[in-house]
Amino acid sequence: MSAEQLAGLSDDLVLGTVLLYLAAMVGFALELAFGRARTNTGATAITVTESGVTESGVTEDVAAGAAKEALAAAGSVAAGASSAALAASKPGEGDGADGVVVRSPEPPSWAPIAGGIGVLLAWLGLAANLGSVITRGLAVGRWPWGNMYEFVVSICLAAVAAFLVTQLRSNVRFLGAFVMVTAALGLGFAVIWLHVPAGPVVPALNSYWIAIHVSAAIVASGLFTVAGVSGILYLIRRDGFSRLPTRADLERVAHRAIVFAFPVWTFAVIAGALWADKAWGRYWGWDPKEIWAFITWIAYAAYLHARATAGWKGRSATVVQLIAFACLLFNLVGVNIFLGGLHSYADVGG
């Protein structure tokens, strides 16, 4: 295939990736919407049926209160352990004098199937995303990270890959809908506002350092994106029963992603300094890109330091990591669009 045909194939694969990611998002969303609701402690949602009251007509607060009264009357649990008993109760348990029945509602059988289809579509989308990057590189005869369009497409690839690899080790399908829509929006942003024709880049980018420095930045950015999505959901998640994952699960995913991504980002900053010395004769010149890469590093270091030494967890730690994520986004996109400097070659104009 000619370079022009490969470039066109790459663009088509990006559009196909968007459709696959959106289809996967629907599958994940269906499982999340119709699966089990849980409390922030991970307990399964309960329903309570009383004489004269339908199951759908009882609110969570009323149901929980009625269940507690029935369990207390029966003497099945102590008052301090009532919530744990409710989570473990089975259909038919908790029958009291008032005819209260506490049970865990089963989700429809198709809900987990929809989630599984979402995983399959996400893998297909990842393959198409990878194909778009490879064909773009073949079309231009270089590493396909020479402008903002190529960089954003690769970050979306890294974010989805980080999610799917994590899914192989632990069940994090609850993040699927949100990671997919983030990747789809990122690709849409790249196609509509950042796209530039395939072509050569400035001489400074014709170096093996682009495979070292930019690759590390892409991997770290993908992991930070997964952590950022988890942090946003943490702040949205309300107390009580919800279809969203528990705050503990969201914080765990975010923390593990950042723990892995931070040293990779550190390596990317160091590799960038070494590349700068080779290209411009100095390791550090306080270029806007360099400044914001360092600010991002400090912000994530503050998050990890606060958790390790000050014992910050929960909302306070999540706010810090989201501030760091905002710094990352401005470094990746805002600096290239709104600020000048030696890294202006990565602007929309490619």
> Could you please report the per-residue DSSP string of 254-284?
HHHHHHHHHHHHHHHHHHHHHHHHHHHS-S-
φ, ψ of residue 239 to 5 degrees: the values are -70, 165
Cα 327 from Cα 38, distance rounded (Å): 33
The pLDDT of residue 256: 94
DSSP classification of residue 198:
S
pLDDT digits (tens, 9 = 90+) for 87-115: 444 443 333 444 444 444 677 888 999 99
pLDDT class of 76 with cuts at 50, 70, 90: very low
Across 132-141, 272-281, 315-324, least confident range: 272-281
Q: Which of 74-78, 147-151, 311-315 is modeled with the greatest confidence?
A: 147-151
The pLDDT of residue 244: 83
Average pLDDT of the segment spanning 162-177: 91
Domain spans, the chain: 3-33+109-346, 47-103
Beta bridge partner(s), residue 103: 47
DSSP classification of residue 45:
P
pTM of the model: 0.78
Residue 267's alpha-carbon distances to 31, 150, 271, 293, 349, in angstroms, are: 38, 21, 6, 12, 28
The pLDDT of residue 345: 55
Smallest CA-to-CA distance from 180 within 25, 27, 19, 26 is with 25
The pLDDT of residue 268: 95
The pLDDT of residue 52: 40
The pLDDT of residue 269: 94
Cα 162 from Cα 185, distance rounded (Å): 17
Q: What is the average pLDDT score of the chain?
A: 80
The pLDDT of residue 237: 87
Cα 39 from Cα 51, distance rounded (Å): 26
Beta bridge partner(s), residue 242: 38
Beta bridge partner(s), residue 38: 44, 242
Helix axes 288-305, 247-280, angle to 10 degrees: 150
pLDDT digits (tens, 9 = 90+) for 123-152: 999 999 999 999 999 998 888 988 889 999
Can you read off the two tokens belonging to residue 139? 């079309």
Q: Which CB contacts under 8 angstroms, 24+ apart, belong to 243-248?
A: 243/32, 243/33, 243/35, 243/37, 244/32, 244/174, 245/38, 245/174, 245/175, 246/38, 246/39, 246/40, 246/41, 246/42, 247/40, 247/314, 248/40, 248/41, 248/42
Higher pLDDT: 47 or 297? It is 297
Smallest CA-to-CA distance from 130 within 157, 155, 159, 161 is with 157
Average pLDDT of the segment spanning 144-165: 93
The alpha helices in 43-109, defined as continuous H runs, are 60-74, 82-88
b/e map 237-246, b = 16+ CB within 10 Å? beeebbbbbb
pLDDT digits (tens, 9 = 90+) for 203-252: 767 788 888 999 999 999 999 999 999 999 999 988 777 788 889 999 99
Cα 48 from Cα 66, distance rounded (Å): 7
